[in-house]
């Protein structure tokens, strides 16, 4: 069965591109437009991997990650931060919030798939 | 596998356009003295999102500008820098630049590279904390490229290459040199920095200042030739490239918190994991073959995995459902919508035909067919309304462009204007929305330029220092009424009359105010004392009026000397369909747009009076109205020539009323307007045509023109 990925990004162009690329690689994708939406979608179903942007309205990526870690079924789900924030600080914060890794924007779809494959096969 | 991301360009363009509009809206609303942190965050986010998209889609010029913008905004939102009016000006200018670049990518529109470089320089100066000389224009600098040239004319450009120098020292140097002129910092390779200074001072002064901070032997300084535009653009691009590298670098060595867990080569790829990948996979239950040394946990792990899979399977249907609900709108090309509207129009005609044909059927025999027909009628009407509503757009589409314009204009003219809008959610057909922009822009400009007085004049007149400009839209019956009102000086009756006489227009001193105000719609009419570059060049109100009339609308002025001017524009909601009243004159059926119809009546013989040489008038509710026999207008053979046997339809347009004499009223129906000009040619007194239920063609009367021509007829008859 195809693995499901929750992609959270407030930018519809990036989100669509991520979703398109992942679908092309054979994954199922659930899209969410901000952290809050992501959390709600996560509650509706479990997913195999979460990709989230950091800077979003309503709820940012770090808060989403922290909230997800408090949800049943999400303690161990791999979470990757997609972010243009390239500071060590942000990485430290991401790790503290419970993320498993990070991917710098901009990225090309190939690299995204490569990273996702590394994590969930 | 290759993935073509170009298909997402359009999505990004639309998105970026929305973000830019949002950014402008936020910037115009922001309180400079005590900005709301949420607003600053939101402004930052717009730049951040555009940068993210632009860099992903390889639109480097845009990502370069947004990068500088973003870092400046970041410092402001973090409180490292106070927001100033200068910042807002620069951000607005940057928004314009980004829009220009966006249009460049989207439609291949020209991009003024020098303007781009200017704005980048401006942003750069601001983020360096360099004080931009106050005589620099605060309005977007690219509008004043020539002026700017003059400022920098005669100045020397020096390039100062610094050897290995601490950031603190560079900053100190920039501050010192900032006293001499404009300084910008250009990062060089290997962590070195160069400063470019534009100044009227000599080389010695610069060296003297540098020696405060560092050993003069540690720097190389030389005069650079003034930049050609190409060079400037190239240099900007080069600088941006280097900055880019800094901004996206991210190629730090292993994560210091848990260096052992990191795979250093991954870092250079632009991603990384906080734990060994195997651990992440194992914990997530992705790797089935759990490593041997962990025999304690496999069972519960397996259970959760199965449970999760089951749950996922059960919810997958709901998941896709939620996905559909997530995006509440889709983008569809306007051609598709128009095609849909056209088809529905045809359907409406077909439906009307069926309805008409079924009219003659015996209700007892064909009861069920007739019930179906009436249901079809209802459904068709609902469908038509629903389809038409697709083309409806909120007036905000037009209104949202004005705050910026008002701000810039008022600043340019030294006026203070409070701009208030109301009814931005009012919906109007897209075609009308697009064509109302220019006339409204003209009216708003007029109000600021000629209407609202300078602060001193306002105070002298006992008014508040800042003028009020009020823009509103509201539905009124089948129309939308747009109002542009200012509390400025109002129209000057004497000056308008004087100018009209000078232009040879037929005027008299005892004309009513309403008639005097209508004079400003005459071609070439401008009473502005000074012709400014904002408005008042004589092409103006007549064009506005023509545009409004072409949209089937009317324009009306109310003004009081010293209290301001209000301009009312009334437009039909849509151009494609209209509620019509079908009337018969002779053998012909005509359609009257229902919006113009006040009432219809059969006059008493005593109410119809003949005025010698001026035709007839009819007394309706104490008011004498000119009587227009339709058969005379179109030279039709009438069945009835006595108004008391026919029907009078009282029409009102452009503030005038008249009674149209027709043979009979046929019915009331929605008609699909077919353009006559596009299919035949323009016919005076006719605004379009439609196809009737029986397949025949009926002409739609141009009520405004009809009333005007009746007036001319009677005027001529007075003269003769």
Arithmetic mean of pLDDT, B290-319 = 40
Per residue in B323-376, pLDDT (tens digit) is 334 456 777 787 888 888 888 888 888 888 888 888 888 888 889 999 999 999
What pLDDT score does B446 carry? Answer: 85
**Between these two residues, B621 and B262, which has the higher pLDDT value?**
B621
Q: What is the mean pLDDT of residues A67-93?
A: 81
Superfamily of A2-118 according to CATH: Response regulator (3.40.50.2300)
The DSSP symbol for B526 reads -
Region B638-656 average pLDDT: 83
Measure the CA–CA gap between A51 and A22, rounded to whole angstroms: 11
Strand ordering across the sheet containing A28-32: A28-32, A4-8, A49-53, A79-83, A101-104, B271-273
pLDDT at B100 over 50: yes
Q: Average pLDDT for residues B410-416, to the nearest whole number?
A: 87
**B15–A contact, CB cutoff 8 A:** yes
What phi, psi does B648 have (nearest 5°)?
Answer: -105, 125
Which pLDDT value is given to residue B528?
Answer: 55
Confidence of residue B615 (pLDDT cuts 50, 70, 90): confident
Residue for token pair 């060079």: B231
Average pLDDT over residues B141-157: 47
The pLDDT of B280-291, averaged and rounded, is 65
Task: List the structure tokens of B473.
Answer: 């839209």
Does the pLDDT of residue B187 top 70, yes or no?
A: no
CB contact under 8 A, A100 and B49: no
Q: Model confidence over B650-661: pLDDT tens digits?
A: 988 766 789 999
Q: Give the integer Cα–Cα distance in Å for B181 and B200.
A: 7
Look at residue A7 in the predicted model and tell me its pLDDT: 92
Q: Label residue B662 by pLDDT band (50, 70, 90).
A: very high
Which tens digits make up the pLDDT trace of B469-520? Answer: 999 998 876 678 899 999 988 888 888 888 888 877 777 888 888 888 888 8
Interval B589-603: pLDDT, tens:
999 988 788 889 998
Q: Nearest 5°: CA angle at B280, between B278 and B283?
A: 105
Q: Is the Cβ–Cβ distance between B214 and B251 less than 8 Å?
A: no
Chain B contact set for A47 (CB, 8 A): 312
pLDDT at position B135 over 80: no
CA distance B445 to B146: 24
Distances (CA, A) of B504 to B491, B499, B508: 20, 9, 12
Give whole-number Cα distances, B574 to B431, B563, B579, in Å.
8, 34, 10
What secondary structure letter does DSSP report for B264? H
* Poorest-pLDDT segment among B137-151, B204-218, B401-415: B137-151
B214-218, B372-376, B640-644: which is most confident: B372-376
Q: What is the pLDDT of residue B649?
A: 93
At B287 the pLDDT is 64
Rounded Cα–Cα distance for residues B159 and B226 (Å): 11
Helices (H), B519-571: 541-550
The alpha-carbon gap from A10 to the nearest alpha carbon of chain B, in Å, equals: 8
Closest by alpha carbon to B68, among B85, B57, B54? B54
Q: Using the beta-carbon criterion (under 8 Å), do A73 and B312 form an inter-chain contact?
A: no
pLDDT for B269: 64
Contacts of B672 (CB under 8 A, 6+ apart): B345, B346, B348, B349, B576, B577, B690, B691
pLDDT confidence tier of residue B236, bands split at 50, 70 and 90: low
Q: What is the mean pLDDT of chain B?
A: 75
Q: How far is CA B385 from the centre of its chain?
A: 25
Q: How far apart are CA B162 and CA B192, in angstroms?
A: 6
What's the full length of chain A, in residues?
121
Please give, rounded to a whole number of angstroms, the shortest distance from the CA of A39 to a CA of chain B. 13
The predicted pLDDT at position A50 comes to: 92
Q: In angstroms, rounded to a whole number, what is the distance separating the alpha carbons of residues A56 and A52?
A: 10
Closest chain B residue to the Cα of A104, Cα to Cα? B270
What is the percentage of chain B residues whose pLDDT exceeds 90?
6
Residue with tokens 């962590």: B191
Reported as a pLDDT band with limits 50, 70 and 90, residue A8 is very high
Hey, what are B108's tokens? 């291949």
Question: Alpha helix (H) ranges present in A35-82?
Answer: 35-44, 61-69
Mutate which of A84, A86, A96 to disrupt the B interface (most B C-beta within 10 Å)?
A: A84
Check whether B136 has a pLDDT greater than 80.
no
Q: How far is A93 from chain B (nearest CA, A)?
A: 11
Each domain of chain A, given as residue ranges in start order, spans 2-118
> What pTM was estimated for this model as a whole?
0.47
Average pLDDT of chain A is 85
pLDDT at B583 over 90: yes
Confidence bin at B212 (pLDDT 50/70/90):
low
User: Are B287 and B278 in contact, with CB atoms under 8 Å apart?
Assistant: yes
Distances (CA, A) of A56 to A65, B46, B632: 13, 10, 69
Distance between CA B281 and CA A120 in Å, rounded? 7
How many other CB atoms sit within 10 Å of the CB of residue B82?
A: 10
Closest CA to B663 of B611, B593, B705, B602: B602
The dihedral through the CA atoms of B598, B604, B608, B609 has a sign that is negative
| Crossing angle of the two packed helices B85-107 and B113-128, in degrees rounded to 10 | 150
Reported ipTM: 0.81
Angle (CA) B267-B273-B277 rounded to 5° is 120
Q: For residue B605, what is the DSSP state?
A: G
Give the model's confidence band at B228: pLDDT under 50 very low, under 70 low, under 90 confident, else very high. low
Q: Which of A1, A17, A44, A61 to mutate to test the interface with B (most CBs of B within 10 A)?
A: A17
Contact B467, B475 (CB under 8 A): no
Contacts with B, A 9-38, CB within 8 Å: 10-14, 16-17, 20-21, 24-25, 28, 30-33, 37
Shortest distance between the Cα of B304 and any Cα of chain A, in A, equals 8
Checking if the pLDDT of B148 tops 80, the result is no
Burial class (CB in 10 A: 0-12, 13-18, 19+), B323: middle
Contact status, residue B199 vs residue B180, Cβ threshold 8 Å = yes
CB contacts of B297 in chain A (<8 Å) are none
The reported pLDDT for the residue numbered B124 is 80
The whole-number pLDDT of residue B130 equals 55
What is the structure's pLDDT at B120? 83
Q: Residue B268: which pLDDT band, with cuts at 50, 70 and 90?
A: low
Q: What is the per-residue pLDDT for B350? A: 85
pLDDT at B127: 75
Q: Which of A49-58, B318-327, B350-359, B458-467 shows the lowest mean pLDDT across its residues? A: B318-327
Nearest-CA distance B1 → chain A (Å): 8
Contact status, residue A28 vs residue A41, Cβ threshold 8 Å: no
Estimate the crossing angle of helix B113-128 against helix B60-77, to 10 degrees: 20
CA distance B466 to B416: 4
State the pLDDT confidence band at B147, using cuts at 50, 70 and 90.
Answer: very low
Tell me the pLDDT tens digit for each residue of B532-552. Answer: 444 444 447 777 887 887 787
CB A100 to CB B274 under 8 A?
A: yes
**Structure-token pair, residue B683:** 């016919």
d(CA B380, CA B285): 56
Range from B5-9, B367-371, B572-576 carrying the lowest mean pLDDT: B572-576
pLDDT class of B191 with cuts at 50, 70, 90: low
**CB-side exposure of B317: number of CA atoms within 13 Å?**
2
| Higher-scoring residue by pLDDT: B37, A6 | A6
């Amino acid at each position: 069965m195809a693995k499901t990925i929750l992609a959270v990004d407030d930018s519809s162009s990036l989100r669509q591109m991520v979703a398109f690329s992942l679908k092309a690689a054979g994954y199922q994708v659930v899209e969410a437009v901000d952290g809050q939406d992501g959390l709600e979608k996560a509650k509706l179903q479990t997913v195999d991997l979460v990709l989230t942007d950091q800077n979003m309205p309503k709820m940012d990526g770090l808060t989403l990650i922290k909230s997800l870690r408090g949800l049943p079924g999400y303690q161990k789900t791999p979470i990757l931060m997609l972010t243009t924030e390239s500071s060590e600080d942000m990485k430290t914060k991401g790790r503290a919030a419970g993320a498993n890794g990070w991917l710098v924007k901009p990225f090309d779809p190939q690299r995204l798939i490569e990273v996702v494959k590394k994590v969930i096969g | 596998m290759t993935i073509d991301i170009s298909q997402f360009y359009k999505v990004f363009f639309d998105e970026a356009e929305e973000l830019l509009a949002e950014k402008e809206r936020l910037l115009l609303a922001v309180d400079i003295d005590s900005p709301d942190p949420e607003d600053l965050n939101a402004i930052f986010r717009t730049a951040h999102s555009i940068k993210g998209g632009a860099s992903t889609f390889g639109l480097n010029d845009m990502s370069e500008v947004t990068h500088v913008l973003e870092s400046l905004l970041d410092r402001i939102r973090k409180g490292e820098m106070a927001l100033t009016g200068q910042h807002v000006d620069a951000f607005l200018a940057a928004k314009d630049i980004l829009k220009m670049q966006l249009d460049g990518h989207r439609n291949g529109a020209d991009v003024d590279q020098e303007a781009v470089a200017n704005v980048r320089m401006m942003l750069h100066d601001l983020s360096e904390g360099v004080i931009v000389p106050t005589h620099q224009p605060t309005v977007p600098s690219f509008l004043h490229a020539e002026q700017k040239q003059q400022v920098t004319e005669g100045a020397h450009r020096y390039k100062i290459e610094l050897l290995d120098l601490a950031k603190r020292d560079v900053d100190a140097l920039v501050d010192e040199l900032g006293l001499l002129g404009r300084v910008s910092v250009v990062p060089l390779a290997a962590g070195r920095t160069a400063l470019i200074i534009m100044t009227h001072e000599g080389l010695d002064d610069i060296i003297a200042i540098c020696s405060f901070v560092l050993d003069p032997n540690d720097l190389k300084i030389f005069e650079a030739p003034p930049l050609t535009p190409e060079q400037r653009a190239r240099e900007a691009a080069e600088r941006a490239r280097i900055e880019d590298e800094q901004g996206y670098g991210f190629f730090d060595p292993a994560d210091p918190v848990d260096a052992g867990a990191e795979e250093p080569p991954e870092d250079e790829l632009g991603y990384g994991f906080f734990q060994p990948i195997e651990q992440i996979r194992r914990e997530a239950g992705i790797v089935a073959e759990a490593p041997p040394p962990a025999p304690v946990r496999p069972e519960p792990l397996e259970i959760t995995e199965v449970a999760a899979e089951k749950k996922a399977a059960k919810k997958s249907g709901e998941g896709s459902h939620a996905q559909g609900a997530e995006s509440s709108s889709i983008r569809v090309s306007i051609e598709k919508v128009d095609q849909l509207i056209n088809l529905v129009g045809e359907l409406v005609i077909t439906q009307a035909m069926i309805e008409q044909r079924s009219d003659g059927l015996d209700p007892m025999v064909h009861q069920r067919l007739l019930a179906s027909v009436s249901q079809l009628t209802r459904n068709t009407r609902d469908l038509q309304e629903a389809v038409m509503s697709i083309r409806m757009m909120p007036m905000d589409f037009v209104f949202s462009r004005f705050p910026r314009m008002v701000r810039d204009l008022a600043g340019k003219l030294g006026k203070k204007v409070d701009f208030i809008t109301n009814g931005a959610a009012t919906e109007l057909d897209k075609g009308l929305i697009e064509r109302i922009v220019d006339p409204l822009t003209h009216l708003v400009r007029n109000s600021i330029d000629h209407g609202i007085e300078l602060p001193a004049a306002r105070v002298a007149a006992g008014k508040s220092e800042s003028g009020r400009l009020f823009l509103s839209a509201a539905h009124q019956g089948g129309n939308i009424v747009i109002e542009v009102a200012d509390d400025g000086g109002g129209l000057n009756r004497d000056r308008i009359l004087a100018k009209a006489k000078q232009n040879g227009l037929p005027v008299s001193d005892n004309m009513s105010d309403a008639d005097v105000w209508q004079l400003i719609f005459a071609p070439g009419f401008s009473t502005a004392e000074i012709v400014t570059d904002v408005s008042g060049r004589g092409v103006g109100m007549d064009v506005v009026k023509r545009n409004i009339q072409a949209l089937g609308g009317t324009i009306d002025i109310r003004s009081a000397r010293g209290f301001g001017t209000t301009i009312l524009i009334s437009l039909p909601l849509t151009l494609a369909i209209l509620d019509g009243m079908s009337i018969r004159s002779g053998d012909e059926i005509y359609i009257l747009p229902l919006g113009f119809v006040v009432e219809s009546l059969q006059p008493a013989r005593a109410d119809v009076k003949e005025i010698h040489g001026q035709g007839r008038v009819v007394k309706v509710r104490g008011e004498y109205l000119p009587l227009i026999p339709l058969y005379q207008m179109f030279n039709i053979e009438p069945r009835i020539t006595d108004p008391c046997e026919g029907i009078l339809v009282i029409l009102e347009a452009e503030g005038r009323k008249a009674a149209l004499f027709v043979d009979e009223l046929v019915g009331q129906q929605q008609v699909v307007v077919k353009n006559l000009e596009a299919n035949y040619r323009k016919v005076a007194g006719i605004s379009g045509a439609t196809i009737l239920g029986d397949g025949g063609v009926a002409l739609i009367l141009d009520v405004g023109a009809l009333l005007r021509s009746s007036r001319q007829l009677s005027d001529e008859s007075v003269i003769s």
